[in-house]
Structure 1
Amino acid sequence: MGNELIVKDNILINASYNLEVTEQRLILLSIVRARETQQGITAESKLTIHASDYMNHFQVDKSAAYEALKGAVQNLFNRQFSFKEQQDDGTEFVVKSRWVSQIAYADDKAELHIIFAPSVVPLVTRLEKHFTSYQLKQVSQLTSKYAIRLYEILISWREVGKTPIINVEDLRYRLGVEYTEYKRMSDFKKRVLDVAVEQVNLYTDIQAKYEQSKSGRIIVGFTFTFKRSSVNTISNKEKDQNTLDIFTSITEKQVSFFANKLAYDEQFSSKYARIGEEYIDLEKRLYKDLLNPKFIQNNLKTLERLGLKLK
């Protein structure tokens, strides 16, 4: 997987939409395809996505990729988003649009054809000053639809590493949380915000946290602060020659791969798992542990047994 670039106009970053994870992923792949033409696209341009593209970018098996493409024909065609547009006279309009004007799927080829709706085309192809870009790989492991949206919102402020106060209703709007969903603040934080922040911190190149703004006892908004992090970054104080050699041999993809391998390896997990810990929780914990070169050193024999080959 290369460093495919996602570029979105900030109008789209701040838009309101509720897409499932598979649908967001297909939109992102479509943006990559649109940019790969290097000639721009129009409202008639047909973009092609293969099941293998989905498998390779998001590390899923063949059946999951086929289902994602097949389900998109009906679901993605019906999806809408809304955004605010200000006219020269100061009048603000709320614009509603579909994502695609046409979508087709060939089952025998496992191939999806997408034509973006006219309103979408300029928001994903033009390179003007009000846009946000990031590498597709940064969101490829996110499984919460809110985490993908939160990551995009945060990195649109990457130059300062902090967002202004985003009021609750505006945050819900941007994350695509429906009016009837998670109306209690405790549910919104537990089911939406905390899950999104946890995944962003675990799987992307930033570490984020939020602070609540209150009016009396009522939470009225949130401020997010974040800093860049990297799987391949480690402070000089923690380095010695041995750990450096080992650490730099572990790629981001390998960290994810071996977290899964260790979690489901009975010999290792029987000793390392906590009482009552689910496999998915153990895998997440191991992902963090594998960022520590000392953990790699201490478990090198097990990792080599599972297929790790150091350079």
Structure 2
Amino acid sequence: MAKISQDPAVQERGTQLTLDFVSTTVSSYPKPGKPTPATVPHSSNTLIREPLLLLEITKNFSLLERRLYILVLRELKNLQKIEREQIQPWTELRFQFHYSEIINGHTNASIKALVDKIRMRDISWTDHDNQTYKSVVIFPETEYQRNKGTIMLTMYHKVIPLFLDLSRGFSTYQLELALALTSDYAQVIYPYIARFRKTKVWRISIDEFRRIVRAEDKYKNFAHLRQNVIDPALAQINAMTDYKVKVKTKLQGRAIIGLEFSISYTSTLTEPEEVVSKEDIAQQLDFILGMEPTAAADYVARELSYYSSLTQDQKNQILAGGEKLMSFLRANLYVQTGNVNNPDAYMAEAVFHFKDKGRKSKELVYDAQPTGRVK
């Protein structure tokens, strides 16, 4: 793969502050303006950080779109912040890449189609700060210069904070490996596997997994889902990345209700510690409490099924409601962030106050009171 990235440069166009990111593969493009400290050094071991909100709302991207999106994340790495208030309000961000970073061979039709498609691609999310649902186009202006092989993107200013905000958690993974994946499904699943590398297990309901891989209306038979989606994706991830992943099913009677991915990780690369926002967990808890009673009961029963160490009596105590149910819901949401090394022991402590001497001190412990507070 070609060497990538160079110094971004700040320019002021009228009263608008913009930031240019120009890949070193774009050798013929003049480097404008003065380089800024936002420079990201790149190597074959470059790690990128994908905010969890973006991971959720970009799942419909095609293979080539996601490669382009990953390159954008690469350029923004040193602008991303864990503290939301530190994010600078850029009016415009502009990116330039050479087609060779995205596709092998100079296939003009494919590149033109990609540029057109990503220009029309919109994303939707709920802004929890003011409870507003938003839907916007990410790159309203795109350009492909055939004679230079250059793809140019301009990012809409209202989506910039989504790419820079790490306060609600993020998945960290290796750039070169993510770009090397050639399966749509492998590319979608890979960041989730990376997200749960610390706990070494990723538990997910079968319905949620279908939604993530965009297979709600395909492969209704699980055998077909496994044959066409799960097994090929894991085979590529196991062969081409630093992860070795196995999957087993979770049954309720004879019905498959969930999947459990066991994850081993062989890389020695260092990476920043992920964070979880207490406010974001509180918002997710409010959403769960606002469910219809039947849907809420199904959700709790399904999530309880993943904790094999809980006795039936303990599960019944949680299902009875009250403080134990609230403690379970909060702790379960934190387990889902991927920052708990032993989910069963953590849940026993959070809900029933059973101490586990092996718990790392950095892990949060939710109190049993229904206040949303975290110790």
TM-score (norm. length: structure 1): 0.62
Note closer, same or farther for the CA distance 1:226–1:95 as it changes in structure 2 (3 Å cut). Answer: farther
Question: What is the rounded CA distance, in whole Å, between the counterparts of 1:26 and 1:192 in structure 2?
Answer: 23
1:225 maps to 262
2:210 maps to 172
CA positional deviation for 1:120: 3.7
Note closer, same or farther for the CA distance 1:178–1:199 as it changes in structure 2 (3 Å cut). Answer: same
Q: 1:214 pairs with 235, 247, 251, which one? A: 251
Deviations 1:163-201 (A, max 9, x none): 2x31122112222x1533333322221111111111110
Question: What is the rounded CA distance, in whole Å, between the counterparts of 2:49 and 2:267 in structure 1?
Answer: 21
CA positional deviation for 1:204: 0.5
Question: What is the rounded CA distance, in whole Å, between the counterparts of 1:195 and 1:67 in structure 2?
Answer: 28
Note closer, same or farther for the CA distance 1:13–1:37 as it changes in structure 2 (3 Å cut). Answer: closer
1:29 maps to 71
**What SS does structure 2 have at the residue aligned with 1:100?**
coil
Q: 2:57 pairs with 15, 20, 26, which one? A: 15
2:24 maps to none
CA positional deviation for 1:102: 2.1
Look up the equivalent residue of 2:93 and give its one-letter code.
S
Deviations 1:80-129 (A, max 9, x none): 344465457xx7x7654433222111111111111234454223223436
Question: What is the rounded CA distance, in whole Å, between the counterparts of 2:223 and 2:75 in structure 1?
Answer: 40
More helix by share: 1
**What SS does structure 2 have at the residue aligned with 1:114?**
strand
1:63 aligns with 2:102: no
TM-score (norm. length: structure 2): 0.52
- Pairs within 5 Å for 1:75-224: 75-83=117-125, 86=128, 95-118=134-157, 120-128=159-167, 130-163=169-202, 165-175=203-213, 177-224=214-261
Deviations 1:39-68 (A, max 9, x none): 97835111111124336xxxx3x325x555
Identity of aligned residues (%): 24
Question: What is the rounded CA distance, in whole Å, between the counterparts of 1:114 and 1:73 in structure 2?
Answer: 9
1:260 maps to none
Contact 1:144 1:196 in 2 (8 A): yes
Q: CA RMSD in A?
A: 3.0
In the alignment, structure 1 segments of 5+ residues that lack a partner are: 232-311
Question: What is the rounded CA distance, in whole Å, between the counterparts of 2:206 and 2:137 in structure 1?
Answer: 25
Deviates more, 1:32-41 or 1:67-76: 32-41
User: Which gives a bigger RCO, structure 1 or 2 (Cα 8 Å, sep 6+)?
Assistant: 1
Question: What is the rounded CA distance, in whole Å, between the counterparts of 1:31 and 1:24 in structure 2?
Answer: 10
Deviations 1:259-305 (A, max 9, x none): xxxxxxxxxxxxxxxxxxxxxxxxxxxxxxxxxxxxxxxxxxxxxxx
**What SS does structure 1 have at the residue aligned with 2:71?**
helix
Look up the equivalent residue of 1:146 and give its one-letter code.
Y
**What SS does structure 2 have at the residue aligned with 1:140?**
helix
In the alignment, structure 2 segments of 5+ residues that lack a partner are: 4-42, 81-86, 269-375
**What SS does structure 1 have at the residue aligned with 2:140?**
strand
Contact 2:64 2:102 in 1 (8 A): no
- Pairs within 5 Å for 1:299-310: none
